[in-house]
Amino acid sequence: MKLIPRQFNPDVAKSLEEAGEHPLMAQLLSSRGVKHAQELDLSLKHLIAPSQLKGNANAARMLADAIQAQKNICVVADYDCDGATACAVALTGLRLLGAKFVHFIVPDRLNDGYGLTPIIARRVKESQADVLITVDNGIASFEGVNTAKSLGLDVIITDHHLPAQVLPNADVIVNPNQEGCSFESKNLAGVGVMFYVLLGLRAELRSRGFFSAQSIEEPKLDQLLPLVALGSVADLVTLDLNNRRLIHQGLERIRKGQMPLGLKALIAISAREPAQLCSQDLGFAIGPRINAAGRLSDMTLGIECLITKDAARAHLLAQTLDQINKDRKSIELDMKEQALEIALSLLDENETAPAALCIFDPDFHEGVIGIVASRVKELYHRPTFVFSNSTVSDKTHLLKGSGRSIPGFHLRDALDLMSKRYPDLIAQFGGHAMAAGCSIEEDQLALFEAAFQEVALERLSPQDLTQELLIDGPLGDVNCQLNVAKMLKSTVWGQGFLAPIFMDDMQVLDQRIVGEQHLSLKLKMGELLVDGIWFGRRETLGQQVCLVYKLEIDTWRGIEKLKLFIQSDAPISNAVAH
């Protein structure tokens, strides 16, 4: 691993500090691309206007017509956390805005496959729907859209996945990544797209005098922001300024207790305090419990949890999701060990991994292959695809693959190139730069692996294949304080706006292995005594060390104290104070 110091602009940092930022935070923000003090204002008034989102005005008109005509609207969801929150936002928002007949259908990962398929389209028609609106899917559902249209359904696609050159034949498509869309934030999650559709719909209904005619107060849609924040963080979208505003506003409401009952129950069962919830909690505690339903069970459970108005039912559903997540962890652990054994067999005589990794085991669970691909990718820093037998096809030899990538390698573009070079190789594919999925015939696995390697070798340099860790420099005992840790925790961090990592010289006062695989440390940084933990480290350290770490808060029986989460070590740079 190569440690890379982050570069910051001293002039920008000074201007941010003059605008009221803590000196440390000013430096951290500057090194992450913040250029002006105006970017510190994360209020809703600075959100990008809904009118900039291509197709949004047309979607608003179609939905307004449907509401006024009391048509039946069906939301077709996706089975991950982004899809579940997008569905919950759609259902809640449409009902707030006057829809009388609105329901949802979510495909089962293991039985239905992904997205709006012809089978799902027919199921929507059978539900007596007039209007079909997808959330977090649909941009690649050509056959499903055609089936829906042939059945007389109006079709609105809301999605954020990268489109192909040809688009489905929907009535309206709302996707910031479609050609000709001037919306500046191309990184909206599926739930963010749906939230913007509702903003546009409210404006359309307002212009028609709908609320005054109904003698109702115009609904406040900011109550949906906790779900927007959850889905955005869980989907690992890049945190540009617009996304940071959405997430910040969602967290602010959660901390004030303004959230759906199901989200409140999930926070409680995750042993988190709403008043202190941070973006990392959404990504590592709440999101996985929602995602687990789609991986191992039925995402209907997750969506029902997020929309229920019954506190007792919310608690029961949260308990169910928590147990499913525990089951998921157990399955993942077994699969991860098997996947790592396979990956180990792919190393050369120098214990170097190939440019891309392709792993398959017939016993892998289809719902967990994406997580396992992520774990292998993190360990070897290689684009990774993990395959399992597919359970959704009549073809018994179809494999389902889930891939994760590294910076510098656009995974969906790689699949597109592979499909052009080998037209019969991939049955179906889609996704993003960093995550994608595909289906292939089992007898094509060897060719897929070769083609994957071929593209990786063409597009990745030795530098790309060297894992880099961006460091924010020394924190020092002056800033290694509880109030600084709380300031950092309250800030929105995530993909493309990573939480800070520091590096300081320290003295090891005591160390021991706990849980057979983690190194527990008592450290001295300058004049400060502080505890540390290095997860997965089984070897002890010398007395004088330079450690790379994240600053965290450890809470035990209501008492807060600092704790360093060690990421790596480095050559000692300065004399350690005794």
51 pLDDT higher than 50 = yes
Residue finishing a domain among 459, 483, 500: 459
- Is the same domain home to 356 and 249? no
The number of folded domains in the chain is 3
- Is the same domain home to 99 and 230? yes
Q: Which CATH number is 564's domain given?
A: 2.40.50.460
Domain for residue 7, yes or no?
Answer: no
Q: What range does the domain containing 426 cover?
A: 346-459
Side by side, which strands form the sheet with 435-441?
357-360, 384-389, 398-404, 435-441, 428-431
Residue 392: band (very low, low, confident or very high) from pLDDT cuts 50, 70, 90: low
- Is the same domain home to 66 and 128? yes
Residue 576: band (very low, low, confident or very high) from pLDDT cuts 50, 70, 90: very low
Domain for residue 173, yes or no?
Answer: yes
Q: Which CATH number is 436's domain given?
A: 3.10.310.30
- Is the same domain home to 103 and 187? yes
Mean pLDDT, to the nearest integer, of 346-350? 92
Residues 120 and 76: their CA atoms lie apart, in Å, by 8
Hey, is 19 helix, strand or coil? coil
Domain for residue 15, yes or no?
Answer: no
- Is the same domain home to 441 and 476? no
pTM: 0.93
Give the per-residue pLDDT at 555.
86
Task: Determine which helix (DSSP H) or strand (DSSP E) holds 568, and give its type and residue range.
Answer: strand 559-570
Q: What are the tens digits of pLDDT across the range 170-219?
A: 999 999 999 999 999 999 999 999 999 999 999 999 999 999 998 889 99
- Is the same domain home to 479 and 395? no
Domain for residue 525, yes or no?
Answer: yes
Residues 161 and 168: their CA atoms lie apart, in Å, by 13
Domain for residue 31, yes or no?
Answer: no
Give the per-residue pLDDT at 293.
96
Residue finishing a domain among 263, 287, 322: 322
Q: Which residue has the higher pLDDT, 41 or 391?
A: 41
Report the percentage of the chain scoring pLDDT > 90.
91
Beta bridge partners of 436: 403, 431
Mean pLDDT, to the nearest integer, of 529-548? 95
Residues 517 and 539: their CA atoms lie apart, in Å, by 9
Mean pLDDT, to the nearest integer, of 522-546? 95
Residue finishing a domain among 306, 322, 338: 322
Domain for residue 57, yes or no?
Answer: yes
Residue 577: band (very low, low, confident or very high) from pLDDT cuts 50, 70, 90: very low
Residue 113: band (very low, low, confident or very high) from pLDDT cuts 50, 70, 90: confident
- Is the same domain home to 371 and 489? no
- Is the same domain home to 179 and 298? yes
Give the per-residue pLDDT at 516.
82
CA distances, 550 to each of 189, 286, 471 (Å): 27, 21, 10
- Is the same domain home to 407 and 483? no
- Is the same domain home to 452 and 498? no
Task: Give the chain's mean pLDDT.
Answer: 95
- What sign does the CA torsion over 321, 325, 331, 332 have? positive
Half-sphere exposure in the Cβ direction for 162 (13 Å, CA):
18
Give the per-residue pLDDT at 450.
97
Task: Determine which helix (DSSP H) or strand (DSSP E) holds 360, and give its type and residue range.
Answer: strand 357-360
Q: Which among 329, 328, 226, 327 is positioned nearest to 281, based on CA atoms?
A: 226
Q: Which CATH number is 60's domain given?
A: 3.90.1640.30
- Is the same domain home to 491 and 546? yes
Give the per-residue pLDDT at 575.
38
Domain for residue 22, yes or no?
Answer: no
Domain for residue 34, yes or no?
Answer: no
496 pLDDT higher than 70 = yes
Q: What are the tens digits of pLDDT across the range 224-268?
A: 999 999 999 999 999 999 999 999 999 999 999 999 999 999 999
Instruction: Report CA dihedral (527, 531, 536, 540) to the nearest 10 degrees.
Output: 60
Q: Which among 524, 556, 546, 521 is positioned nearest to 535, based on CA atoms?
A: 521
- What sign does the CA torsion over 146, 148, 154, 156 have? negative
- Is the same domain home to 137 and 187? yes
